[in-house]
Amino acid sequence: MPFLRFKGFDKHIIEQLSPSIIDEFAELVSIPKEIVKIELLHIEQITNSPLSVEIYMFQREQAIHDAVASMIHEKFSELGYSHLHIFFVILSPSLYYKEGKPLHEHPNQHYQMNF
């Protein structure tokens, strides 16, 4: 956690950009880069859908969300993908469970609450 989910992209593009996205995301959000999860979702488009990036994470200051979105947009724009949608799905720490237990009851919860 957090999860960055990419839809509509070729796998090699995500593999190419993932290391730098993880490094910069972790720095912007102030979390260990080892906990950043990257996923490529395979979808079947029924109607015309844009390329998109879904970011599942806990709430941060607006400036941090803005910086993350700008960084991701810049990386894809450099490769010619400037028309993508980036949106956040804000998770509630009180509704996040690991191994069936509330996050606050988990070992290492002191840094997990900052995801």
Tell me the average pLDDT across 83-100.
92
pLDDT of residue 92: 92
What is residue 33's DSSP assignment? Answer: G
Tell me the average pLDDT across 48-69.
96
Q: What gap in Å lies between CA 10 and CA 29, rounded to an integer?
A: 26
Rounded to a whole number of angstroms, the CA Rg of the chain reads 15
pLDDT of residue 112: 47
Which of 51, 50, 20 is closest to 38 using CA atoms?
20
Bridge partners of 37, per DSSP, are 3
What is residue 83's DSSP assignment? Answer: -
pLDDT of residue 84: 95
| Structure-block tokens of residue 52 | 């998109």
pLDDT band, very low/low/confident/very high, at 45 (cuts 50, 70, 90)? confident
Q: What gap in Å lies between CA 105 and CA 86, rounded to an integer?
A: 32
pLDDT of residue 98: 85
pTM comes to: 0.88
Tell me the average pLDDT across 62-74.
98
Tell me the average pLDDT across 79-94.
94
